[in-house]
């Protein structure tokens, strides 16, 4: 690409990105609309971020009541530890926001549940703190469709980039014909 051709400034860049998985926990998941797709796409994101060497963080909302993170997601995450929280927003999840700032991770890809509670409050707080948020619309959900749709609209109106799992992964790749491209192509199929 020539020096005078610009790229959209909000395109995801590996060096600035992180994945934040919010509260995909055993006891609440069965009542979430389209929860199978949320889990499947979250796992695709984890696998793709691992291929690209991008940090992944995940939270658990009051695990004593809602149970731990779904085992299939924990298995994919490996040794990563959950960040426990009682606040709906991940801004109250220990020093998570400070860690992201210190590591200059300014583009946060978000997935999880519920769209209109913990996800929405986290996204709005991330935006308020100067982060770019890319929301994987096919990896978030709520119990009710109206809550999901309303939350996506609100987050988009306040500056979140609403996109999809596959779009996020190929945006981070930027080019094809690399070993990472081949690995991610297999993940999204």
CA atoms within 13 A on the CB side of 148: 18
Report the residue count for the chain.
Answer: 189
Of 44, 90, 111, 118, the active-site residue reads 118
Of 85, 90, 111, 138, the active-site residue reads 85
181-184: long-range contacts (C-beta < 8 A, 24 or more apart)? Answer: 183/51, 184/48, 184/51, 184/52
Give the list of residues 6+ apart from residue 44 with CB closer than 8 angstroms, or none.
165, 166, 169, 187, 188
CA atoms within 13 A on the CB side of 127: 18
Is 65 within 8 Å of 27 (Cβ atoms)?
A: yes
Q: How far apart are the first and last CA of the chain?
A: 29
112 forms bridges with which residues in the sheet? 22, 140
176 is catalytic: no
64 is catalytic: no
- Nearest 5°: phi and psi at 118? -65, -40
90 is catalytic: no
Q: Which residues are catalytic?
A: 23, 85, 118
């Amino acid at each position: 690409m020539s020096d005078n051709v610009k790229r959209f400034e909000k395109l995801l860049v590996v060096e600035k990105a992180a994945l934040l998985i919010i509260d995909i926990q055993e006891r609440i998941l069965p009542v979430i609309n389209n929860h199978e797709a949320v889990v499947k796409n979250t796992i695709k994101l984890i696998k793709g971020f691992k291929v690209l060497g991008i940090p992944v963080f995940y939270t658990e909302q009051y695990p004593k009541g809602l149970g731990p993170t779904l085992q299939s997601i924990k298995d994919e995450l490996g040794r990563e530890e959950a960040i426990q929280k009682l606040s709906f927003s991940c801004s109250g999840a220990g020093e998570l926001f400070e860690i992201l700032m210190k590591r200059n991770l300014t583009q946060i890809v978000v997935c999880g549940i519920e769209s209109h509670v913990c996800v929405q409050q986290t996204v709005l707080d991330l935006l308020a703190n100067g982060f770019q948020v890319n929301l994987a619309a096919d990896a978030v959900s709520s119990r009710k469709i109206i809550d999901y749709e309303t939350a996506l609209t609100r987050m988009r109106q306040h500056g979140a980039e609403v996109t999809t799992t596959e779009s996020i992964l190929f945006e981070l790749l930027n080019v094809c014909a690399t070993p990472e491209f081949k690995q991610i192509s297999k993940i999204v199929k």
